[in-house]
Amino acid sequence: MSSPTEDRQFKRVILKLSGEALREPGSHDNISPEIVERVAKEIKKAIKSDVEIGVVCGGGNFWRGASASARGMDRATADYVGMLATVMNALALQSALEAEDVTCTVQSAIEMKNVAEPFIRRKANRQLSVGTVVIFAAGTGSPFFSTDTTAALRASEMNADAIMKATMVDGVYCSDPKKNPDAKRYDSVTFADCLSQDLKVMDSTAFTLCQDNDIPIIVFDINGEGNITKALAGDDIGTMIHKG
């Protein structure tokens, strides 16, 4: 399948960053200032293409609610701790963006007025429309939902044209490329094909939100030089999941 590159000139996007992507591989540090700085520099370059950017950060470099729950912690409590982990990543990214003279703000789904604005949909929409990078923190504000679902929800609320999902692989494959060296990478694939082949691009709640609201997902490798800028600017990169 060929990638519909003509559909990649997006006006407004949500960039989904996993917490693990902000940690240096093999390091004992939870977060790498160098990686966060690189992400901020790439976002700054993308802004020059006039794209409006919202960001959702995961918190897996600090905490995973599901793992803590499996070890005996109350699941809702564990998820709330995970939401706080996403705030730490969001604040680190905000600091790096401000160092690059990028106008940005953190909006948190859990009120913490001393460090972040509360999430207000209409205000976030206005901020995006004037070029402010809005970093959405603390997940959805409710337990039992992933930050992938947060990205899908915020993309729907902000009328975003696409979600850019930065991962540790360069796209979506027909099977796990780590286990199958002959696995085929798709340039583009439909939501229906992802479901029929059980490709697990996102969790089911996030994926259904994107499918129902016709929000394409671009899956790309965060580690490639300039890949964030390329994805945000609409370059043909990674795999596009679309309605077809």
Residue 191 counted as an annotated binding residue: no
Q: What is the CA radius of gyration of the chain?
A: 17
* 234 annotated to a ligand binding site: no
146 is in an annotated binding site: yes
Q: Please tell me the distance from the alpha carbon of residue 218 to that of residue 202, in angstroms, as a whole number.
A: 11
Tell me the pLDDT tens digit for each residue of 33-63.
Answer: 999 999 999 999 999 888 999 999 999 999 8
For the segment 160-201, what is each residue's pLDDT rounded down to a tens digit? 999 999 988 899 999 888 889 899 999 999 999 999 998 989
229 is in an annotated binding site: no
101 is in an annotated binding site: no
**Whole-prediction pTM value?**
0.92
Residue labelled with tokens 């995970």? 82
Does 122 show up as a binding residue in the annotation?
no
Domain spans of the chain, in order of start: 5-242
Is 26 annotated in a binding site? The answer is: no
Residue 79 among known ligand-binding residues: yes
Residue 239 labelled as part of a binding site: no
Instruction: Confirm or deny that 69 is annotated as ligand binding.
Output: no
Q: For the segment 228-243, what is each residue's pLDDT rounded down to a tens digit?
A: 999 998 888 999 999 9
Q: What residue has token string 């004992």?
A: 28
143 is in an annotated binding site: yes
The answer to whether 171 is a known ligand-binding residue is: no
The helix (run of H) or strand (run of E) holding residue 120 is none
- E strands along 142-181, which residues? 162-167, 172-173
Q: List b or e across 74-98, with b for residues whose CB sees 16 or more CB atoms inside 10 angstroms.
A: eeeebbbbbbbbbbbbbbbbbebbe
pLDDT band at 7 (very low <50, low <70, confident <90, very high): low
65 is in an annotated binding site: no
Domain 5-242 fold: Carbamate kinase (3.40.1160)
Query: Is 10 annotated as contributing to ligand binding?
Result: no
The residues near 226 (Cβ < 8 Å, ≥ 6 apart) are 42, 45
| Contact yes or no for 153/7 (Cβ under 8 A) | no
**Residue 82 is assigned to a ligand binding site:** no
Tell me the torsion sign for CA atoms 32, 36, 39, 41: negative
Which residues make beta-bridge pairs with 241? Answer: 189, 217
